Amino acid sequence: MKVRQILVGAVLAAIASSPAAQGKEKHYQSGKLLRMDSAPCGMDQKNGKSLAGEMLGTDSAHTKTKEVLCQEYVLETPKVVYHIRPKDDKHPTLLPIGENAQFRIEKDMMKLRVEDADDKERDYLVVSMTPNTSSDASSIESRR
């Protein structure tokens, strides 16, 4: 009976000390926000039709079309340059350019936070990634 209790206690202790039981640590990479651009991300159409106009037959078939622009940031790390867009198109948050940011890639999203701003983690879509071949890559590495 005592042997069984010791074995059960040892197994429970091993499970409790495993990394899966303690929760996952979030490992952030860091980079610098170089600039923000406005990039075309679709078209917005508005027509002049209303319910009353449809019923009475007074609405015209005229539609207004305009190009929608989205924020696109350039985030530079020592190895990769990321072009990212906010996932929330309707309420994007302006990020401070020239500041360092921490990020992590989770599934298909980039989770980004800026310590000097509000330190809140936000979701971004990665539009493109290119290797960092600039001569500034070594200077970024030495600043950290």
- Give the phi and the psi of residue 52 in degrees, each rounded to 5: -65, -40
Domain membership of residue 73 (yes or no) is: yes
Instruction: Note the pLDDT tens digit of each residue in 74-89.
Output: 999 999 999 999 998 7
Domain membership of residue 44 (yes or no) is: yes
Structural domain tally of the chain? 1
Region of residue 40 (phi > 0: left; psi between -120 and 50: alpha; otherwise: beta):
beta
Domain interval for residue 137: 24-143
Which of 54-68, 81-95, 120-134 has the least mean pLDDT?
Answer: 54-68
Using alpha carbons, select from 90, 3, 76, 79 the residue that is nearest to residue 35: 76
Instruction: Note the pLDDT tens digit of each residue in 5-51.
Output: 554 455 445 555 544 444 567 899 999 999 999 988 888 777 766 66
Domain membership of residue 85 (yes or no) is: yes
Domain membership of residue 9 (yes or no) is: no
Distances (CA, A) of 96 to 35, 40, 59, 114, 125: 9, 21, 45, 8, 18
Domain membership of residue 34 (yes or no) is: yes
Which amino acid appears at position 32 of this protein? K
Domain membership of residue 120 (yes or no) is: yes
Domain membership of residue 49 (yes or no) is: yes
pTM score, whole prediction: 0.64
Domain membership of residue 59 (yes or no) is: yes
